[in-house]
Amino acid sequence: MIEDKNKTLTNISSLGEFGLIDHLTKEIKPINKSSLVGIGDDAAVLDYGDKQILVSTDLLVENVHFDLIYTPLKHLGYKAAVVNFSDICAMNGIPRQITVSLAISSKFSVEAIEELYEGIKLACKKYNVDIIGGDTTSSVSGLMISITVIGEAEKDKIVYRHGAEEGDLIFVSGNIGAAYMGLLILEREKAVYKEQSDMQPDLEGFDYLLERQLKPEARLDIIQKLKELDVVPTAMIDISDGLGSEILHICKQSGVGCNVYDNKFPLDPLTISTAENFGIMPEVAALSGGEDYELLFTIKQSDYEKLKDVEDLTPIGHITGKNALAYVVGASGGAVEIKAQGWDHMKNQQ
């Protein structure tokens, strides 16, 4: 967190909890007709008619989910909102509202929290999402951000993780592994900074990877494209913990196995070269890295013709039989069982 040392900053205690809420939300006005009542009452009132309501919550904790040494607060706010939007997209829905709750330690000024909120508001503006409420409290251990997102979907178009069947094709949007490479670069420069605090970070040429880590996007565009093409996936999930972990979720909940082919993984050239420089196989980065927030989904074979030429969608494998195992198949034809290697916050705290 970097602040202008010559600027007089406002102590949060001078506003108090409700003063801070008023200060941060005074310019927020609902833009969706379904937001009947937003900020200012005990609860929001939403009107969805014949649509299904989708709700998801995500909690981000300082030094567990983010590191403020290299994460700008505006980027953090943007990312905190977008990862929630992605959860709604993963169910074939559209995000409409969020509530934002913050636990704030005394090291943060009002201006710092304003910067965080600017990122949240920027994400909401881009995705046409309303901020309709939230909460604030004090923290003795840094910053915590809890966002609840509310979305809508047509009743017969909601997609779950458990609908994959034998013969279904597996698709992934965008490219994968880039966010993990961005994280490794930031962690490398953090280590250098700790040893030599006068050194400037060497980030030149890595803009794409850093943006994928610090400012991801939810693939609402893919949801809209699927709707245009009249394709409803049989199962879907967003890639937050790595391709391997996510495909195992689909397989386990659907009671099936799969074969995915590592030479089909969509990898950006910079991801490949950076992974190799770190001594990591790019395919492993894709399987285990996480935080790409791309969509992983399955479709009936009959829908393949509709998607085969769609930009930014790549078929990477297929679903196998009931109670089968999940495998990644190499170019030589050898198969290795997929083991979840994605980030597990609880296990990594033990």
Give the domains, in start order, of the chain with CATH numbers.
12-153 (3.30.1330.10), 169-349 (3.90.650.10)
The residues near 217 (Cβ < 8 Å, ≥ 6 apart) are: 82, 293
- With a pLDDT cut of 90, the percent of the chain lying above it is 77
pLDDT of residue 196: 82
**In the structure, what pLDDT confidence band is assigned to residue 261 with cuts at 50, 70 and 90?**
very high
| Nearest Cα residue to 180 out of 264, 260, 241, 246 | 241
Q: What is the mean pLDDT of the chain?
A: 91
| pLDDT over 50 (residue 1) | no
| CB of 34 closer than 8 Å to CB of 96 | yes
Mean pLDDT of the region 30-41: 80
| Residue range 124-135, pLDDT digits in tens | 999 999 999 999
Please report which confidence band the pLDDT of residue 346 belongs to, taking 50, 70 and 90 as the band edges.
Answer: very low
Query: 134-160 as b/e, with b when 16 or more CB fall inside 10 Å?
Result: bebeebeebbbbbbbbbbbbeeebebb
pLDDT band at 195 (very low <50, low <70, confident <90, very high): confident
pLDDT tens digits, one per residue of 137-148: 999 989 999 999
Cα(149)–Cα(97) distance, integer angstroms: 6
Whether 191 shows a pLDDT value over 80: the answer reads yes
Query: Is 16 a residue whose pLDDT tops 90?
Result: no
pLDDT digits (tens, 9 = 90+) for 219-233: 999 999 999 999 999
Largest CA distance in the chain: 66
DSSP 12: G
Where residue 41 falls among pLDDT bands split at 50, 70, 90? low
Instruction: Provide the pLDDT confidence category of residue 201 given band limits of 50, 70 and 90.
Output: confident
* Block residue for tokens 């992974």: 275
**How large is the average pLDDT for residues 317-327?**
96
Q: Report how far residue 180's alpha carbon sits from residue 292's, in angstroms, rounded to the nearest whole number.
A: 8
* CA 196 to each of CA 41, 184, 187, 199, 334: distance values in angstroms, whole numbers, following the listed order: 51, 18, 14, 6, 45
pLDDT at position 42 is: 64
Q: What's the pLDDT score for residue 7?
A: 77
Contacts of residue 8, defined as CB under 8 A and 6 or more positions apart, other chains included, come to none
Give dist(CA 145, CA 148) in Å, integer.
Answer: 10
Residue 11 has pLDDT above 60, yes or no: yes
Q: Is the pLDDT of residue 347 over 80?
A: no
| Rounded mean pLDDT, 97-121 | 97
What does pTM read for this prediction?
Answer: 0.89
Average pLDDT over residues 183-209: 89
- Give yes or no for residue 160 having a pLDDT over 60: yes
User: Mean pLDDT throughout 55-79?
Assistant: 95
Residue 341 above 90 pLDDT?
Answer: no
